Structure 1
Amino acid sequence: MKRIEYDVLFVGGGISSLSAAHRLVDLAKQEKASLKIAVFEKGKDFGSHILSGAVSNPRAVKKLFPDYETNGFPIEGICKETCVMMLGCKKAWEIPPFISPSEMNKLGYLILSLSNVVKWMASSLTEKVKDSPSIIVDLYNGFPATEVIYNGSRIEGVKVDSTGNAENDNCYGKVTVFGDKGFLSRDIITKFNLTQLPQKWAVGVKEIWETQNDFSGKVWHTIGYPLLDGSFGGGFIYGLKDKRIAIGMIIGLDSENPALHPPQILQNFKKHPWVQGMIKEGKVLKYGAALVPEGGCYSLPREFSVDGGMLIGDALGILNLKGFSGIDKSMESGMTAADIIFEAVQKKDFSSGILRRFKQRLMEGWVGKELNDARYYRYAFHENKKVFGNYLPKIVKGLDESGIVIGLLKAFISDPPGTIGSAINLRKMMSGKIDIGAVKWEEDRKYSKADYKAKETAEPEGFNKNTIYSTADVVFYASTHYHIGNKHIDEFSADVCKQCIQKYHSHGNEVPCVGDCTAEVHQIHIKDNEKVHFMNLENCVQCRTCEIVCPENNLKVNPAEHGSGPDFSGL
């Protein structure tokens, strides 16, 4: 049997891979060239494992689809109102535009369901090649790439099935492009020693709600309640069409708190009177969770390409935390990669010498400029932890008691030099106008503290209990499904887990895999009078949070096989 081979393989059917595939097809049609492309997506459908906010600058969409306003491109709305809110436990304060960071102004931006966008892009890609017999595009949903195939230092393809017959299981490409969120790209980064600085991850938890009132076109971002334990993060509410809203929280995984309980942070967010005003008569439609790469410029790999392989989109981690801009950059990375790949196809040269031009071209353009301008953005909060841990809680407490002016005064009086110093340092680093050289931080897992002491936080009163869900209940809305016998999370050593449990439980804390899980996958059971780690794998939403926060690096999440996992359609 002849081996299965394409010109270009894409691993992960997300926004960056499909943008690259569309661009390649456009170039091949322009040049009347032959081209053979395959896209492998682990979800049962394209878009079923895709989750994002999502509010995006339309520039990349306009570039790839100039007629996007009339060609059926799925848009939930155009941002007509935008603001940043500071939340206490009881009150909400709209931060005036002249104080609010300019990058948070989203007027004119597209409000999207990235899941729906990806589904549409896959469908339209198939339509695009119907009249071009020399261009073949094969879309393989339900087929995860589970292993990279190497020939020495060259990437030759990926393993996509497990029948035991290499000719059936393996797929080869002249160039293999990885747009996944770490499932395989992490192995490439490790093998070729591409890590510049560990990625700094956050986890996003999100629900879609049907509401009584119409909030379409409105975009809110929040700081303050319920994230007042010193962890980095905030909330968002985006008004969608058809009387729906997207509501979510983004929480940094470099927290000292080993038991963040992200789904419950989202439930606490929903308890706030300001949020209750939107959802109290509504109903939840969907739930999901996904990792967010926040490290920015200094967490990018040293190289974006190797012989026969490229990294794009989330595999690179090119989200710009300043303004939370990721979709446009992922699309641009895909289109830029496609330009280089097409040159390689024309020259029949897929060596790193050609493919490495991708990094240069991407970083010399607007993507590189914006990432460089924001190179200290995440580091600013990493180095000024008192902002979220000390000063913000005092400000919002004052907001609840007497108003924002009193809150600001309380924070200042508590530590005048500290508040002024932190404010100045934060502003300088966030602006990117100073140069302090390369930054340093460790893997997120290193910051978890077994002896962490949780701070007491007040809870809003008077919320509608029917709008609040336990994690076990809300996971129902992620529509997870796995085939019998699935074992997609590796636990390398049961003894290491037992030691970790003993360490954290001795201080009265949960182990991070349990405390930070977004779907109640990880639990502690008693077996033979001993505490052991147990996994409800059928709950898993494939977010990889447990892998990131495991203090002992003892867990690995693998891509779900045969279309298993959550269904994020519409999220």
Structure 2
Amino acid sequence: MQDYTKVSVLIVGGGPAGLSAGITVKRRNPNADVCVIDKAAAAGNHNLSGAVLESESLAKLLDPIDPQWRSSDEAKAVLLGTVEKDNMMFFCGRKWAFNILPLLKMARGLKLAFGQMMHEGDCICSVSKLTAWLSKIASAEGVEVMHGFAAENILWDEGTGRATGVKLVDQGLNKERQKERNYLAGEIISADVVILAEGCDGLLSEKFIQRAGLSREGHQLYSLGVKELIRVSDAQYQAFTEGRVVHAMGWPIWRPLIGPSMFGGGIMYPMATNHIAVGMIVGLDYKYCDFNPQDALTLFKEHAWVKPFIDGGQVTEAGAKMIPEGGLYAVPRCPATGTIGRGNVVLIGDSAGFVNMLKIKGLHNAIESGIAAGTAAADNLDSPLAVAQCYSRLLKDTRVLKELETAKNFRQTVARFGPLQGIPLSIFGGWLPKFNIEPDYQTMTPQRYRLKPPVRFDKDTFTAMAATVHREDQPCHLLIGDPAVCAEQCLPKFGAPCITFCPAGVYETIHGQPKPANPSNCLHCKTCQRKCPFDNIRWTVPEPTGGPRYKTM
């Protein structure tokens, strides 16, 4: 590519969805100029998941390139094996654990939606490594994959109903936003087609949704996942076994009748030799103003069923990420056409919200949607305004929207009635009316989370294990709308929850004023933007290459 500032197809976000789109465009139209930009320093640095993957989507992407890809050393290093032992646990208190997989098998036999929660036969993988691998494949196919390129704005022309490109963030400003000697104005990248693949709660994605007049049937609901990679002994790793994955509901975030009552649960996946990934995922519609998801992770690790596998182990990597859980009702569409995008712009993967909460995964849908977007872009370069229409039509022929249809009321039902009533009721989700669910930030109350670990969670060490880094002397990318709201309303009523729930310890109270005192710690999870009880925080993009540098997450 001679000039990256003018391309045929621009993909914002270099995760599995965006890279799948880029690979597909080049495969179908080798002469197209395809550029993927990503704000991370390197491929995979900002990608975190469990992860288990339904490999059919990966086969659909890679088989046309190399039918023998499964036998390559790279594939074997990324896909760590298949799930042979699927544990779906319910933790009742600190000691008791019950495997409820037989109930899921019964649900599958009865063709109930709950039967989707099984993972046997799926691939276990690190999404960071998967992303790095797909980035190499994309580059080999002729896609220009550029890291350290952070976009802050989408250039939307309402008159023509199309995007002309994106603007990159300015670099070389000091904390007072004054130009330094190394100042570099953000460039404009012009494109015929723009594919938004930023991941959950993407900055450009949300700006596009607003400017292009897209709407959701219901609010997007989010969860926060916090995860640690733990090196354990040979004996512990062998006891856990390589082909086992664990998903656990119940304690410490849900105790029926007595509380707490939160949606989510713990996970355990085997990773590279002698490493086990342990995580906690918590729906951000929780109501406890002093709740820290990392405390729940600590309590999960101390459970009598979990502890023997990881006791004495060493945390080698850590991170946090939001997950879009709203499902089909939260997918943004053009009111006039029903398209998931408009004109020459489409949304894919987590930017669109294609996570299937009944399967507890969405990586396969991210790849599948990327393939559909790439196909639509490649086939309509002569008529870019038809891309969104074509993409949405192609999606209807894939399993993405069909899956989301089966799970469309699951998360809303749990949010409306709580786990105790909502999970059983969600069996009938397809027949229940659509519930009007309030956004996550409105659920906060002065209630307290009663289960506390004996030792305060060390956020500094957690952040260090994420290897996050930003240039210190740049403008703060976390904007407080009205500081008086923080000091005069949030602090006395809720105790400034951002100080507690931020996994990186970004927020502190200084002289009675809650503020983002440590923006260089930010993990780019954006939880503060979605859980501030007064909707008073906005995440903006920092200078490129900032943020975590995940390797195996």
- With normalisation by structure 2, the TM-score equals 0.87
Q: 1:375 is paired with a residue of what secondary structure?
A: coil
Q: Which residue matches 2:244?
A: 218
Counterpart mapping for 1:20-39 below 5 A? 20-28=21-29, 33-39=30-36
- The amino acid that maps onto 1:4 is T
Instruction: Quote the Cα distance in structure 1 between the aligned partners of 2:226 and 2:28.
Output: 38
1:503 to 485, 489, 502: 489
Distance 1:488 1:218, change over 3 A: farther
Aligned to 1:284, what secondary structure does the other structure show? Answer: strand
Could you say which residue in structure 2 is the equivalent of 1:149? Answer: 155
Q: Is the 8 A contact 1:498 1:532 kept in 2?
A: no
Query: Residues 314 and 330 of structure 1 are in contact (CA less than 8 Å); yes or no, is this contact kept in structure 2?
Result: yes
Match for residue 207 of structure 1? 228
Structure 2 CA distance for aligned equivalents of residues 8 and 57 of structure 1: 27
Counterparts in 2 of 1:480 and 1:8: CA distance versus 1, 3 Å: same
In the TM superposition, what are the counterparts of 1:412-491 in structure 2 within 5 Å?
Answer: 422=421, 426-434=423-431, 436-449=432-445, 452-457=446-451, 469-491=457-479
90, 93, 100: which one pairs with 1:89? 93
Are residues 371 and 533 of structure 1, via their aligned partners in 2, closer, same or farther at CA, if it must alter by over 3 Å?
same
What amino acid is aligned across from residue 173 of structure 1 in structure 2?
Answer: A
Change (3 A) 1:247 1:68: farther
RMSD: 2.3
**Partner of residue 356 from structure 2, selected from 306, 320, 325:** 320
Q: Deviations over 1:252-286 (max 9, x none)?
A: 11111123212222122112222210111311110
The alignment partner of 2:305 has SS state of helix
For 1:292, the equivalent position in structure 2 comes to 323
How far off is 1:477 after superposition?
A: 0.3
SS of corresponding position for 1:76? strand
- The equivalent residue for 1:158 is 166
Output the amino acid matched with 1:498. Answer: A
Aligned residues: 506
- 1:521 aligned to 2:534? no
**Cα distance between partner residues in 2 of 1:240 and 1:168:** 39
Counterpart secondary structure, 2:33: strand
Counterpart in the other structure of 1:396: none
Structure 2 CA distance for aligned equivalents of residues 118 and 549 of structure 1: 28
Give yes or no for the alignment of 1:266 onto 2:266. no
Residue equivalent to 2:111: none
Separation in structure 2 between the aligned mates of residue 365 and residue 125 of structure 1, nearest angstrom? 22
Q: Deviations over 1:297-340 (max 9, x none)?
A: 10001231212211111110110100112000000000011111
Deviations 1:441-464 (A, max 9, x none): 122111112xx222533769xxxx
Cross-structure match for 2:175: none
Alignment partner of 1:301 is 2:332: yes
Residue 187 of structure 1 and its aligned partner are, at CA, apart by 0.6
**What is residue 536 of structure 1 aligned with on the other side?**
518
Identify which range, 510-519 or 475-484, moves more after superposition. Answer: 510-519
Distance in 1, matches of 2:274 and 2:418, equals 38
Structure 1 match to 2:399: 366
Question: In the alignment, is the contact (CA less than 8 A) between 1:211 and 1:243 conserved in 2?
Answer: yes
Deviation at 1:173, TM superposition (A): 0.5
**More deviation in 77-86 or 1-10?**
1-10
**Can you list the C-alpha shifts for 1:19-67, whole angstroms capped at 9, x where unaligned?**
1111112212xxxx41101110100001001001101111101111233
* CA 1:534–1:150: 2 relative to 1, 3 Å: closer
Q: Give me the whole-angstrom Cα distance separating, in 1, the residues matched to 2:184 and 2:490.
A: 44
Q: 1:532 to 1:104 in 2, by over 3 A?
A: closer
TM, length-normalised to structure 1? 0.84
Identify the residue that residue 394 of structure 1 maps to in structure 2. Answer: none
Question: Deviation of residue 147 (structure 1)?
Answer: 1.1
Cα 1:386/1:479, change in 2 over 3 Å:
closer
| 2:132 equivalent to 1:106 | no
Residue in structure 2 matched with residue 383 of structure 1 by the alignment: 416
Change in Cα spacing, 1:355 to 1:566, as seen in structure 2 (3 Å) is same
Greater shift, 230-239 or 156-165, is seen at 156-165
Aligned AA for 1:103? Answer: Q
Partner of 1:411: none
Contact 2:291 2:448 in 1 (8 A): no
Shift of 1:168: 6.8
Partner SS, residue 301 of structure 1: coil
Counterpart for residue 373 of structure 2: 337
Judged with a 3 Å threshold, the aligned counterparts in structure 2 of structure 1 residues 552 and 90 are, in CA distance, closer, same or farther, namely closer
- Report the AA paired with residue 162 of structure 2: R
Alpha-carbon distance between aligned partners in 1 of 2:545 and 2:450, rounded to the nearest angstrom: 42
Per the alignment, do residues 368 and 504 of structure 1 end up closer, same or farther by CA in structure 2, a change over 3 Å counting?
Answer: same
2:545 and 2:449 map into 1 onto residues whose CA distance is 41
Counterpart CA distance in 1 for 2:312 and 2:34 is 48
Give the letter aligned to residue 319 of structure 1: V
Match of residue 350, structure 1, among 364, 384, 398? 384
| 1:349 CA drift (Å) | 0.5
User: Counterparts in 2 of 1:111-122, with a 5 A limit?
Assistant: 111-122=124-135
1:184 is matched with 204
Amino acid at match of 1:457: L
Partners of 2:537 and 2:457 lie apart in 1 by 28
Which segments of 5 or more consecutive residues in structure 2 lack a partner in the other structure? 105-113, 172-178, 255-259, 334-338
SS at match of 2:94: coil
| AA partner of residue 314 (structure 2) | K
Return the letter of the residue paired with 2:409. Answer: Y
Q: Secondary structure at the match of 2:223?
A: strand
Which residue number corresponds to residue 16 of structure 2? 15
Cα deviation, residue 561, structure 1? 1.8
- CA distance in 2 between counterparts of 1:168 and 1:549 reads 30
Which residue is equivalent to 2:110? none
Distance 2:18 2:430 in 1: 33
Q: Deviations over 1:422-474 (max 9, x none)?
A: 3xx6435335442x34331122111112xx222533769xxxx8xx9512222
Which string of whole-angstrom CA distances, capped at 9 and with x for unpartnered residues, describes residues 323-366 of structure 1?
11200000000001111111112xx1011x44222113213431
CA deviation map 1:194-219 (0-9, x unaligned): 22122101011001111112231110
Shift of 1:244: 0.9
In 2, the alpha carbon distance for the partners of 1:361 and 1:2 equals 31
Partner SS for 1:35: coil
Distance 1:168 1:145, change over 3 A: closer
Shift in Å, 1:498: 3.2
Question: Unpaired segments of 5 or more residues in structure 1?
Answer: 130-136, 388-421
* SS of 1:273 mapped into structure 2: coil
Measure the CA separation in 2 of the matches of 1:13 and 1:431.
38
